[in-house]
């Protein structure tokens, strides 16, 4: 696993909507905006599944995803990639569901996608664009 740096965590904390990319086993891409993304450890993210259809189908077939983080103020951006574990029961799922319902009680919070961060890349334009940083 990979740990996010303090700079990455600071950038992550400013983001309100995260573009999340997945692909089917056949390689068909899908990108969706997800608001309920939580950094729960240096190397772990939680994504709440409220209305996922293609995203959930993709991670069941191909349990990986990429997430884009961009701070317009500082112009910092990172791409995070990781392995996905789907949970529909248990303490972590219940904690995520409570967090979602605390903000929006009408959302279903159907499942929890636990992302174990494996790689982080620079997304800023320039000579380091696409460089793996961890």
Domain borders along the chain are 6-122
What separation in angstroms does the CA of 78 have from each of 13, 42, 119, 130? 13, 15, 10, 9
Q: What is the layout of strands, in order, in the sheet containing 76-87?
A: 29-34, 18-23, 64-71, 76-87, 111-122, 44-49, 37-41
53-85 pLDDT, tens digit per residue, is: 999 999 999 999 999 999 989 888 999 999 999
pTM (2 d.p.): 0.94
Confidence of residue 3 (pLDDT cuts 50, 70, 90): confident
CB 61 within 8 A of CB 44: no
**Weakest mean pLDDT among 2-6, 23-27, 92-96:** 2-6
Domain 6-122: state its class: mainly beta
């Amino acid at each position: 696993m990979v740990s996010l740096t303090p700079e990455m965590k600071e950038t992550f904390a400013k983001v309100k909507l995260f573009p999340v990319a997945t692909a089917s086993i056949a390689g068909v891409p899908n990108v969706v905006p997800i608001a309920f993304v939580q950094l729960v450890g240096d190397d772990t993210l939680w994504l709440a599944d409220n209305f996922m259809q293609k995203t959930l189908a993709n991670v069941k077939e191909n349990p990986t995803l990429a997430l884009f983080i961009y701070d317009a103020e500082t112009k910092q951006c990172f791409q995070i990639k990781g392995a996905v574990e789907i949970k529909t029961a248990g303490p972590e799922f219940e904690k995520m569901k409570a967090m979602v319902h605390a903000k929006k009680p009408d959302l279903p919070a159907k499942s929890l996608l636990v992302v174990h961060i494996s790689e982080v890349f620079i997304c800023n334009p320039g000579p380091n664009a696409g460089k793996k940083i961890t």
